[in-house]
Structure 1
Amino acid sequence: MEIFCRTDQKCICYLCSMDDHKGHVTVSAAAERAERQNEWVSRQKVQQKVQDRENDVKVLQQRVEVIDHSADEAVRDSDKIFSNLICLNKKRSSEVKQQTRSQQTTDVSRAKELEEKLQQEIPELRRKETELEKLSHTEDHLHFLNNYASLSCLSESEDLSSLNVCPLSSFEDVTAAVSEARNKLQSVLSEEWLFCYVNLMNIVK
């Protein structure tokens, strides 16, 4: 088994090279191993991917903090604004709070889900890094070739771009929309209550 058939991508013996693999592209197992190891950057790739994933996890954690903070601000501001209209619009205040919390829960859940996937990926990458390091020191060409492909193959993992988090401005828009409604109502109230009531009904529909 000291010959490597590049046509069939496997190690063969001398007799097989003259029979079943006749006419195939063949080289010595040592030569094939040397060529592949010269191109070998798998360990460095694994190390870089571990670092990238750890950085991604930190970014996700920061995003969760910002989402929570922005959502909390939106809820607090909405409560303050609706306190002036509590008798007329208590139901709408509750709905705005519920929608904001629902969006917050959705965004945080998506971020946490991706964070968990990345956290689970890191130990496997570290294991491959260790196995690749051991494999690089083996003198058994057959063992190297049989194990190299599975260890050097890195699965495609989710990127942060796949995290569909709504823009943080959407939470700010909650406060802005409620503030605008309050200002309109105050202007209407200064003229006449009946006109205010009619417009209020139009706004909250």
Structure 2
Amino acid sequence: MEQMKVSLERELEKNEKSFTDLIHYIEEAQKKLVERIREQEKREIEKAEGVMERLEKEIEELKKKDAELKELSGTKDHVHFLQTFSSRCVLPSDGDSLSFTVTADFSFEDQRKELSGLKKSLEKISQWDIKTWTPSGLKAPLVTLQPPEPQSRDEFLQFADPSVNQLFSCCAGVK
């Protein structure tokens, strides 16, 4: 009895450590992901602020040109108007056009898919049954974690050996 208690206590400690480690890894992954998102947010905000600053300067320049052109439009000297107007109305070259793109170092979509897959796996494991059985020749029972009995062909194929899956997929059309 004492040996069984010690063995079970050891098993409980191992399981507790495994779950504690799993929680720690999840928390670390979340912390790193949040840091990475915050860093990217900071970079994108700095980039956007730079673009806004350029736009504000461009707006100021356009306002000055607009005021000059309004003043110029009131002139009666047509030659002076044409000479001054052509120098004031210089269109920006293609290189001056403003472009702004948001970039990501990694794919948030890929990250969400991975987390979703991990969540589904943990949900499946949480539904597994704990079975206790004593094989012949052993005094102490063994405790195992087993998936629930499959209720459909698809569920059966999820847990089947890959070679069995191939057999079923090969023979799917055979009656």
TM-score if structure 1 supplies the norm length? 0.42
- Judging by fraction of residues, say which structure has more helix: 1
TM-score if structure 2 supplies the norm length? 0.48
Work out which structure has the larger RCO, using CA pairs closer than 8 Å and 6 or more positions apart in sequence. Answer: 1
Larger radius of gyration: 2
